Structure 1
Amino acid sequence: MTAVLDPSPPTAHPGAQRVAQQVAQHRRRRARRVLVVGVVLAVAVVAVFVLTMSVGSSGVAPLDVLRSVVAPGSDPRTDFIVRELRLPRALTSLLVGLALGISGTVFQRLLANPLASPDVLGIASGASAAAVAGLVLGNLGGLALSGAALAGALATSALVYLLAWRQGISGYRFILVGIGIGALMGSVTSYLLSKAEVADARAAFAWLVGSSGMAGTAQIQVLAAAVVVLGPLSGLLGRRLTVLELGDDTARGLGLHVERDRRLLMLVSVVLVALATAAAGPIAFVALMAGPLAARLVAGAGSGIVASACVGALIVLVADLLGQHLLPVTLSTGVVTGLIGAPYLVWLLIATNRSGAGG
């Protein structure tokens, strides 16, 4: 007897089809949530960006602000108020927030610890120490100051990486080493200030407080170029970051060069935080807060880098708006973010200790 073969393909099991449909629906919901959250945050950033240029001793209508920024020339008085007096400060706040938001979430996810931000890891302290050395010893400014901050951040991050390396990188060990190196960089900064001339020390102290109003044109341009280039690059590397979160062995099994990709992501983040620090001084806690807040908004969907950047920009813009116009006394941007971030850090330490994630 000759066997008759059925040429039709096998029918998938109904249970497997339902699971596949549920997975596809879940992915669509996650992608839709990421898109909606990203659009809402971007609109909020633009709205607050315009608002910071509308409020002041001479109020300007939001539509007039937009007209002056996009197509100047219709009203010289408004153009002077917006473009000359307020736009540099608002643009600095926007760029610093974007840079710190990206760098913070990358470090936190690479090291799998919400405490792993450039503030805690000593990288911002290294950039600050180098910048203070440039201000006190060399009277640097503009591009030279940005270069000094970048060199200090790169040297500090390399030192932390080498000291924390033990056949791989442990997030808890990296944080402990970073805290120690950060304290060392703080001591260097204090020593430089103690030996500086009074005028130089006063300028350095003003810079160390952190303010969006100190950046020169060259520093804003350098930071803008870095955000425009490295921001999208961080987004493209977001998938590699997601795979690295699965663990080194799994990432290698999926074809990643673990240490090379980790170093590349760290390098991008270090450059962003260094140039942000050079432009506005050390703006505390923004990198620490932006990533976890964005993660809650997107509910773990996607890489979260775009959302983190927008949240960081919102924090700095709102902090500068509060410090300049909405509080009884005028405060620098870094002081306001410190007042917001210090209670958050205490809460985060308590929550991390309770969950056992702090080591």
Structure 2
Amino acid sequence: MKTPRGPRVVTGTVLRTPGDRHSLRLHGRTVVVTLALLTALVVVMGITLTTGDFQLSVGEVLQALTGNGSGAADFIVNTLRMPRLVTALCVGAALAVSGAILQSLTRNALGSPDIIGFTNGSATGALLVIVVLNGSMTQVAVGALAGGIVTALVVYLLVFGGGSPGFRLVVMGIGVSALLIAVNTYLMTRANWQEALEAQAWLLGTLGNRTWDHAAAIGLATAVLLPVAFLLGRRLTMVEMGDATATALGVNVGRTRVALLFTSVALAAFATAVTGPIMFVALAAPQLARTLIRSSGPGLVPAALMGALLLAVSDLLVQRLFSPALLPVGAGTGTIGGLYLIWLLVTESRKSRA
């Protein structure tokens, strides 16, 4: 399933640094969409922090955030709601940018870390720590990170040796993902009931009981990796044009592809290590962002904002609509993402027949 690539029209305003050493092209529609997504994020954050079993006003939330709130408001905002919200925003952005990079590299709408096995590799690493090593939650996170990176390395070694790298990455990734699902199922059957409950809770993907430690971990990861991804965004756009064109424009295609793939895998692995596998955000967010900005380029910044918004909205809905039940956010994103995937497959099928 190829991601549509129309003619590339270069428009917009170019900002240049003194000496013309660096430049930034701003497209009017992209700027408008970015501002709209930022506004929507602010609204969702306000609703998340003010609503719930304990209602707060905007003023009370602001006072709590600045350290001047009452004891109850301070506990609810700074201990319960804010760490969970920050974790959701960072994980959503990380997954979306990871998916956007992979979809651009593979030129395929299904090229996302949860489809081609990287997320399942993280799950395998976490399950090995839970079932075999009886590790702590910190060790589970490290195992998830290592599992995602090892899986990506295996897929990379299997893929980049001939044929179309993008097509081979998707096909090989789906095969590796199926194998890892079988391994994960086997590990679950070998676990005792307590280990199985712990593993199942992690595999569902949840933002419940997230503390500032979780928020700080994923916040630091995104603070380092997202700027790297954004800086590589221009090269990614050139690679989308084809290896020959990118090389003619001065891009080292091999090194650029490796750097982008590593960045994508690291973003997905860190996100999965913090929350468990949250499905379909990496698949849907980049596609929705592309649709809004109407650009043939990867649009990493709008994709990051869209991912943060999708996960924050999904978590808000599962908290408010199903309260007092503790429904994991993975159930919400799985439902939304499943419907989106069906729509995407039907749409692409109709296009191929036209």
TM-score, normalised via structure 2 length: 0.89
Separation of aligned partners in 2, 1:219 and 1:140: 17
Do structure 1's residue 352 and structure 2's residue 348 form an aligned pair? yes
How far 1:53 sits from its partner (Å)? 1.9
Q: Which residue number corresponds to residue 186 of structure 2?
A: 191
Counterpart AA for 1:27:
G
How far 1:180 sits from its partner (Å)? 0.8
Write the mapping of 1:284-299 to structure 2, written as runs, cut at 5 A: 284-299=279-294
1:239–1:303 Cα contact (<8 Å) kept? no
Q: Which residue number corresponds to residue 8 of structure 1?
A: none
Do structure 1's residue 27 and structure 2's residue 23 form an aligned pair? no
Separation of aligned partners in 1, 2:90 and 2:260: 19
Q: Which residue number corresponds to residue 103 of structure 1?
A: 98
Q: Which residue number corresponds to residue 51 of structure 1?
A: 47
1:30–1:301 Cα contact (<8 Å) kept? no
Q: Which residue number corresponds to residue 315 of structure 1?
A: 310
Unmatched 5+ residue regions in structure 2? 1-8, 14-24
| Cα deviations by residue, 1:45-99 (Å, 9 ceiling, x for unpaired) | 1221232122211111133223322x11332211011111111211111111111
Separation of aligned partners in 1, 2:103 and 2:86: 26
Separation of aligned partners in 1, 2:244 and 2:204: 43
Separation of aligned partners in 1, 2:59 and 2:164: 50
Moved more, 203-212 or 134-143: 134-143
Q: Which residue number corresponds to residue 134 of structure 2?
A: 139
Separation of aligned partners in 2, 1:283 and 1:307: 20
Q: Which residue number corresponds to residue 3 of structure 1?
A: none
Let me know the Cα RMSD of the aligned residues. Answer: 2.0
| Cα deviations by residue, 1:281-302 (Å, 9 ceiling, x for unpaired) | 1111000000010011111076
Moved more, 243-252 or 155-164: 155-164
Separation of aligned partners in 2, 1:272 and 1:215: 18
1:92–1:220 Cα contact (<8 Å) kept? yes
Q: Which residue number corresponds to residue 79 of structure 1?
A: 74
1:143–1:218 Cα contact (<8 Å) kept? no
Larger radius of gyration: 1
Counterpart AA for 1:347:
W
Separation of aligned partners in 1, 2:163 and 2:145: 25
Do structure 1's residue 63 and structure 2's residue 48 form an aligned pair? no
2:235–2:256 Cα contact (<8 Å) kept? yes
Q: Which residue number corresponds to residue 156 of structure 1?
A: 151
Separation of aligned partners in 1, 2:209 and 2:71: 24
1:238–1:305 Cα contact (<8 Å) kept? yes
TM-score, normalised via structure 1 length: 0.87
Separation of aligned partners in 2, 1:223 and 1:144: 15
Separation of aligned partners in 2, 1:83 and 1:211: 19
Counterpart AA for 1:172:
F
How far 1:218 sits from its partner (Å)? 3.3
Moved more, 58-67 or 336-345: 58-67
Identity rate, percent: 40
1:31–1:302 Cα contact (<8 Å) kept? no
| Cα deviations by residue, 1:177-226 (Å, 9 ceiling, x for unpaired) | 11110111111111111111211110110111111114454333221111
Unmatched 5+ residue regions in structure 1? 1-22
| Cα deviations by residue, 1:146-195 (Å, 9 ceiling, x for unpaired) | 32111111111111122122336432221111111011111111111111
Counterpart AA for 1:54:
T
Q: Which residue number corresponds to residue 19 of structure 2?
A: none
Separation of aligned partners in 2, 1:193 and 1:95: 29
Aligned residue-pair number: 333
